[in-house]
């Protein structure tokens, strides 16, 4: 199986263009192949570009994102929970939260066309991860981008060491991709520990507590492990320093951040934090870089 991954690029490189077209603001049409409900307010959309050449050649790095748009309704950034190892169809995990997502939930059905621009952002430094143990730490919706990375690691299992996933949600119902994670765990492909804040009276074999507590339940060799964290601001507030306490250098911790990415190509200014455009230099940052950009994590 050949995997097509675009090269990691430093920012402010010579001119480049998006896979979806020379005009970086113009989306390419993509068809919604399948819609699945993950939780009461999160759905997984399978998409395929209408242009079959683009559909088959569309390559992205885990951690990159796309802009999805419905002309007349609006546009928004969404991370890719699918892996580039599975070509042809890509996925978006979308939570109902604003006018565009309301439209996607209420009016869009399988077979409809939407617009896609991308891939955008830097993505995870997967080349550096080769041969290393991987510790993935997700809080809530942070599982969406990490699922793309997880699938990438699993699809090329022999190129990585241990794959550990620590994942916390509020309730058992909110655990995303639960069946999938269970089967990965049973197959022994990944070590997976789940936590919920509250079982709400449902059967639960995982931990009850906050996700940082899961960190105390696993042993790892920090010298050969990269940690990748993704979650809401409050999750970062506790998790990142806890990882440092466990011995991780700040350059061995990566995180993916959310901002108001509008143009996605470093022009409109909305996602700028200090000298960084979250859409162009990010959304993935090492903890060291992130901590040196005030406002980036904890505003």
Partner 1 sequence: MQTLRMDSRLLNSFLEALRAWGTLVAPVERSPGVFALAEIEDVGSARPEAQRTILPFKKLLLKPSFCMLERRDGQAARESTDNDPGPMVYFGAHACDIHALKILDLLYLSEYVDPYYKRNRERLTVVGHGCFPDEKCFCRSQGTANVDDGFDLFLTPLEGRYLVTIASARGDDIVRANQALFEPSTRRDVQEYMTRLKEREKTFTLSMDVTDLPYVLELKRDDPVWEELGKKCLCCGSCSMVCPTCSCFNVHDEIPEEGVTRRMRKWDACLYREYALVAGGHNFRATRADRVKNRYYHKQEAFVREFGKPSCVGCGRCIENCPTGINVVEVFKAVRGEL
Name the residues that contact partner 1, by CB under 8 A.
11-13, 15-18, 22-27, 29, 69, 71-76, 97-98, 101, 115, 233, 258-260, 262-263, 265-270, 272-276, 280, 294-295, 299
Using the 8-state DSSP alphabet, how is residue 274 labeled? T
Contact 44, 92 (CB under 8 A): yes
> How far apart are alpha carbons 137 and 217 in whole angstroms?
13
Our CB check for partner 1 shows the closer of 27 and 148 to be 27
Smallest separation (angstroms) from partner 1 to the CB of 186: 35
Our CB check for partner 1 shows the closer of 223 and 292 to be 292
Strands 284-286 and 253-256 turn out to be antiparallel
Our CB check for partner 1 shows the closer of 27 and 168 to be 27
> How far apart are alpha carbons 119 and 115 in whole angstroms?
13
Smallest separation (angstroms) from partner 1 to the CB of 130: 27
Smallest separation (angstroms) from partner 1 to the CB of 296: 9
Q: Is the dihedral of CA 151, 154, 156, 162 positive or negative?
A: positive
Contact 193, 167 (CB under 8 A): yes
* CA 167 vs CA 16, 179, 229: distances in Å: 36, 14, 10
SS3 246: coil
Our CB check for partner 1 shows the closer of 157 and 260 to be 260
Q: How far is CA 31 from the centre of its chain?
A: 21
Smallest separation (angstroms) from partner 1 to the CB of 275: 4
Our CB check for partner 1 shows the closer of 113 and 216 to be 113
Tokens for 115, please give them: 């617009």
Smallest separation (angstroms) from partner 1 to the CB of 17: 7
Smallest separation (angstroms) from partner 1 to the CB of 207: 27
- ∠ CA 64-68-69, nearest 5°, is 155
> How far apart are alpha carbons 146 and 80 in whole angstroms?
9
Contact 169, 196 (CB under 8 A): yes
| Ramachandran class of 33: left when φ > 0, alpha when ψ lies in -120 to 50, beta otherwise | alpha
Our CB check for partner 1 shows the closer of 138 and 257 to be 257
Our CB check for partner 1 shows the closer of 135 and 140 to be 140
Our CB check for partner 1 shows the closer of 233 and 247 to be 233
Smallest separation (angstroms) from partner 1 to the CB of 46: 22
Smallest separation (angstroms) from partner 1 to the CB of 28: 10
């Amino acid at each position: 199986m050949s995997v097509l991954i675009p090269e990691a690029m430093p920012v402010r490189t010579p001119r480049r263009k998006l896979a979806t077209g020379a005009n970086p603001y113009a989306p390419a049409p993509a068809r919604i192949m399948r819609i699945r409900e993950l939780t009461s307010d999160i759905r997984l959309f399978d998409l395929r570009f209408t242009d079959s050449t683009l559909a088959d050649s569309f390559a992205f790095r885990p951690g990159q994102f796309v802009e999805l748009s419905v002309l007349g309704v609006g546009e928004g950034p969404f991370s890719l929970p699918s892996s580039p190892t599975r070509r042809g169809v890509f996925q978006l995990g979308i939570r109902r939260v604003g006018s565009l997502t309301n439209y996607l939930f209420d009016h869009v059905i399988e077979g409809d066309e939407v617009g896609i621009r991308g891939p955008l952002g830097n993505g995870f430094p997967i080349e550096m991860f080769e041969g290393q143990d991987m510790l993935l730490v997700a809080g809530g919706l942070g599982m969406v981008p990490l699922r793309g990375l997880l699938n990438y690691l699993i699809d090329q299992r022999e190129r990585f060491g241990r794959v550990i996933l620590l994942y916390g949600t509020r309730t058992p119902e909110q655990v995303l991709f639960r069946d999938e994670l269970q089967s990965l765990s049973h197959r022994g492909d990944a070590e997976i520990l789940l936590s919920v804040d509250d079982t709400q009276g449902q059967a639960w074999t995982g931990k009850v507590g906050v996700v940082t507590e899961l960190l105390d339940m696993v042993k790892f060799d920090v010298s050969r492990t990269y940690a990748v964290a993704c979650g809401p601001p409050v999750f970062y507030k506790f998790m990142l320093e806890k990882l440092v306490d466990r011995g991780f250098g700040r350059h061995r911790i990566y995180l993916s951040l959310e901002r108001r990415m509008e143009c996605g190509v470093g022009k409109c200014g909305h996602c700028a934090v200090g000298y960084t455009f979250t859409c162009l230099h990010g959304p993935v940052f090492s903890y060291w870089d992130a901590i040196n950009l005030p406002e980036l994590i904890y505003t």
